[in-house]
């Protein structure tokens, strides 16, 4: 299970909130020294305590859409990190050619080889009703049939009002057709620098403005109907178009495969917890579950020692 203490340390010491216009996020900008306590309270409020009254699945049933013949590691990393952070059940919906390899990595994952089936939408759609969150993109690839199947799955998930985390080739799919997700406020997109620039240019019509990355992330979020954007970089920026947060926790200088998959899996679990805590209680104009889950997620997986605390 993840170490809440390491998460709290990095939240308390390494984040700052940025107000948007006249709508500061919870506290005035000139009281930034108070922000760590505010963040600590927000994150602790949605991490569920263990209870003998819980049954299997209540801590989260997370689905991963991805995994093809070329890419079997990415969906494994996303699914296993969701489990290690604290969800109860982790499902991988992959192609038939990827299923055996992914099953061999861990007996804890539920691996379903439907993604390249002609009836993938219907087959996976029957599972969507029991899930809390879908993570779309780790190891997805760019095969046209698989991308078309994934679009169908996204539309079915939206009808179920299911929170979505979209990463990797899922972002390629969204860049091709942003209408799939525009205006769906339970979506979280996690682009790196290159993915962000491509999506920004698609939506806005020109490249991002200079060094004003916070402004750029706000612009993209609003252009996409206030979906939450987690722009990964030297400083990670979270925005839902109304509120913005910058995570300055020092991360590993390595840029190896699998880092983003860990983040998307952890974010899947945090998204379920945050939505469960906020959907019925948050006041209009306050931060929502998508943005709140991202606040908890980034410092958990970003620092090199934070990863060990969360993933051990």
Nearest Cα residue to 304 out of 15, 4, 6? 6
Please indicate if the annotation marks 23 as binding a ligand.
Answer: no
Residue 94 counted as an annotated binding residue: no
260 is in an annotated binding site: yes
Q: Residue 235 annotated as binding? A: yes
Residue 145, marked binder: no
Residue 31 known to bind ligand: no
195 labeled binding residue: yes
Question: Does 251 show up as a binding residue in the annotation?
Answer: yes
Residue of 274, 287, 290 whose CA lies nearest to 23: 287
Q: At what angle do helices 96-105 and 73-85 cross, to 10 degrees?
A: 50
Here the contacts of 280-285 (C-beta below 8 Å, separation 24 or greater) are 285/23, 285/242
**57 is known to lie in a ligand binding site:** no
Does residue 255 have a known ligand-binding role?
yes
Structure tokens at 285: 């104009």
Do the annotations mark residue 215 as ligand-binding?
A: no
CA quadruple 241, 270, 195, 6: dihedral sign: positive
Q: Is 68 annotated as a binding residue?
A: no
197 marked as part of a ligand binding site: yes
97 is in an annotated binding site: no
Strand order of the sheet with strand 236-239? 15-18, 244-247, 236-239, 228-231, 187-189, 164-166, 133-136, 61-65, 89-93, 110-112
> 240 labelled as ligand-binding?
no
252 is known to lie in a ligand binding site: yes
Residue 61 annotated as part of some ligand binding site: no
Q: Is 111 annotated as a binding residue?
A: no
Determine whether the annotation assigns residue 139 to a binding site: yes
CA 297 and chain centroid, separation: 8
* 119 is known to lie in a ligand binding site: no
Annotated binding site: 139, 192-198, 232-236, 251-261
Annotated binding residues for (6S)-NADPHX, written as ranges, equal 139, 192-198, 261
- Please enumerate, by residue number, every residue annotated as part of a binding site for ATP: 232-236, 251-260
């Amino acid at each position: 299970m993840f170490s809440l203490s390491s998460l709290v340390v990095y939240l308390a010491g390494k984040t700052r909130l940025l107000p948007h216009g006249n709508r500061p996020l919870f506290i005035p900008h000139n009281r930034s020294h108070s922000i760590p306590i505010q963040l600590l309270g927000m994150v602790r409020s949605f991490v569920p305590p263990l209870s003998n009254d819980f049954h299997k699945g209540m801590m989260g049933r997370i689905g991963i859409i991805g995994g093809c013949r070329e890419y079997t590691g990415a969906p494994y990393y996303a699914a296993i990190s969701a489990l290690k952070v604290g969800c109860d059940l982790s499902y991988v919906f992959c192609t038939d050619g990827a299923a055996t390899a992914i099953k061999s990595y861990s007996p804890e994952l539920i691996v379903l080889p439907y993604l390249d089936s002609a009836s993938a939408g219907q087959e996976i759609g029957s599972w969507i009703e029991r899930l809390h969150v879908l993570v779309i993109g780790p190891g997805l690839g760019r095969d046209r049939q698989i991308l078309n199947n994934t679009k169908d799955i996204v539309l079915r998930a939206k009808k179920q009002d299911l929170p979505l985390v979209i990463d990797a080739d899922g972002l390629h799919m969204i860049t091709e057709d942003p209408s799939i997700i525009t205006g769906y406020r339970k979506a979280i997109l996690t682009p790196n620098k290159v993915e962000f620039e491509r999506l920004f240019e698609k939506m806005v019509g020109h490249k991002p403005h200079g060094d004003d990355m916070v402004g750029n992330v706000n612009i993209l979020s609003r252009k996409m109907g206030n979906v939450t954007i987690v722009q990964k970089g030297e400083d990670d920026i979270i925005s839902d178009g109304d509120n913005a947060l910058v995570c300055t926790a020092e991360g590993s200088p390595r840029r190896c495969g699998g880092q983003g998959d860990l983040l998307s899996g952890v974010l899947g679990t945090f998204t379920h917890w945050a939505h469960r805590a906020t959907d019925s209680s948050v006041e209009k104009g306050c931060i929502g579950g998508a943005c709140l889950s991202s606040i908890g997620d980034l410092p958990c997986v970003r620092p090199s020692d934070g990863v060990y605390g969360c993933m051990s």
